[in-house]
């Protein structure tokens, strides 16, 4: 009897660990690229809003908030796509599509993450809290926008850049023109990298009826991405000028522009794996721009 009880406890514990692993996969904790792509623009905004010295409390809240909201976004995205992911080679093993997590479990996990995000918001001022409502709405509607909007990447970009006006609201209690210029730049950036991502799934998306800019742009996809990259670099340079950033920041943008050209070259043949690699390379682009911001503030601050 004791042996049977021990085996039962062991099986129960193993089951809990396996289910926790599936929840982690549902939140994409094993694939942090999306977290980084959400975090970099938030840090851009936080550092510029704080003139190179953001409050430590805000830094902690925003980093934690990025992790929580990205996780929540992945959960609700997979819930919305649970009947679609199984028909796409790259996504058919996701926990909901594979039946390893039940839809009700996903909704419960989304609710828990929402409560954690709400607790973080209580540490911010009223204006930042108000803006957070916009972030919540964008997080929920993006997964469903792929059914009716020809360019859902713009909704994704709006969501991924929303940390910028929130950072300015938290640090300065106002949202200047600079914040919206940076936000628009991030919207363009997200359209660029998520179009690359969607190019890898274009045939599957056409077959199952999911919309994306990769489908909308068609054979002009690489050309349009190149044009958007020019818009992105221009927007970042204008934002830097508005913020009073100098040579270190400009050098960061130049280095980032070279990386963008490398990505464009990589996707020229539209090979799915090359498109995914170009998408992932945007993590380094975000880090490069952030490095330029930090270096500029570091060497322009008084000794």
Q: 105 is written with which tokens?
A: 């479990």
In a domain, 22, yes or no: no
Q: Quote the CA–CA distance of 132 and 140 in Å, as a whole number.
A: 13
Token pair belonging to 129: 């809290």
Q: Helix (H, G, I), strand (E, B), or coil: what is residue 201?
A: coil
Q: Where are the alpha helices (DSSP H) in 122-201?
A: 126-148, 153-160, 163-172, 177-199
Residue 240 lies in a domain: yes
What is residue 204's predicted lDDT score, i.e. its pLDDT?
Answer: 83
DSSP 84-116: TGGGSTTTTTSTTTTTSS-HHHHHHHHHHHHHH
- Domain extent, residue 201, equals 28-298
Whether 236 is in a domain gets the answer yes
| DSSP SS3 for 209 | coil
Structurally, how many domains does the chain consist of? Answer: 1
Q: Is residue 4 part of a domain?
A: no
Is 109 inside any structural domain?
yes
Q: Examine residue 7 and state whether it is found in any structural domain, yes or no.
A: no
SS3 content of the chain, % helix, strand, coil (to 5): 80, 0, 20
pLDDT tens readout for residues 34-80:
999 999 999 999 999 999 999 999 999 999 999 999 999 899 888 88
User: Angle 33-49/163-172 helices, nearest 10 degrees?
Assistant: 30
pTM for this prediction: 0.91
Q: What token pair was written down for 32?
A: 């942090």
Rg (CA), the chain: 21
Provide the CATH number for the domain around residue 190: 1.10.357.140
Reading the block at residue 67, the tokens are: 């992790």
Residue 149 covered by a domain? yes
Kindly report, residue by residue over 208-258, the tens digit of the pLDDT.
888 899 999 999 999 999 999 999 999 999 999 999 999 999 999 999 999
Q: For residue 56, give the 3-state DSSP assignment.
A: helix
Tokens of 169: 């609201």
303 domain residue, yes or no: no
Tokens of 246: 């100098």
Which residue in 61, 62, 70 sits closest to 36, CA to CA?
70
pLDDT digits (tens, 9 = 90+) for 97-113: 888 888 899 999 999 99
């Amino acid at each position: 009897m004791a042996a049977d009880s021990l085996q039962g406890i062991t099986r129960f514990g193993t089951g809990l660990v396996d289910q926790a692993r599936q929840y982690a996969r549902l939140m994409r904790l094993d694939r942090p690229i999306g977290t980084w792509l959400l975090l970099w623009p938030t840090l851009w905004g936080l550092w510029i809003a704080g003139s190179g010295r953001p409050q430590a409390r805000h830094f902690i809240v925003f980093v934690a908030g990025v992790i929580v909201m990205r996780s929540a976004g992945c959960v609700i995205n997979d819930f919305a796509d649970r009947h679609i992911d199984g028909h796409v080679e790259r996504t058919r093993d996701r926990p909901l599509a594979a039946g390893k997590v039940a839809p009700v479990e996903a909704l419960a996990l989304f609710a828990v993450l929402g409560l954690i995000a709400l607790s973080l918001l209580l540490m911010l001022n009223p204006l930042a809290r108000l803006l957070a409502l916009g972030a919540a709405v964008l997080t929920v509607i993006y997964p469903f926008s792929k059914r009716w909007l020809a360019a859902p990447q713009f909704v994704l970009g709006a969501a991924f850049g929303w940390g910028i006006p929130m950072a300015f609201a938290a640090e300065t209690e106002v949202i200047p023109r600079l914040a919206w210029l940076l936000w628009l730049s991030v919207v363009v950036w997200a359209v660029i990298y998520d179009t690359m991502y969607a190019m890898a799934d274009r045939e599957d998306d056409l077959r199952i009826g999911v919309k994306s800019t990769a489908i909308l742009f068609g054979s002009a996809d690489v050309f349009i991405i190149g044009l958007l990259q020019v818009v992105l670099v221009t927007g970042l340079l204008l934002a830097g000028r508005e913020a009073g950033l100098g040579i270190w920041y400009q050098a960061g943008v130049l280095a980032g522009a070279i990386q963008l050209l490398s990505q464009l070259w990589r996707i020229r043949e539209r090979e799915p794996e090359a498109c995914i690699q170009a998408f992932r390379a945007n993590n380094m682009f975000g880090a490069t721009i952030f490095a330029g911001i930090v270096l500029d503030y570091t060497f322009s601050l008084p000794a």
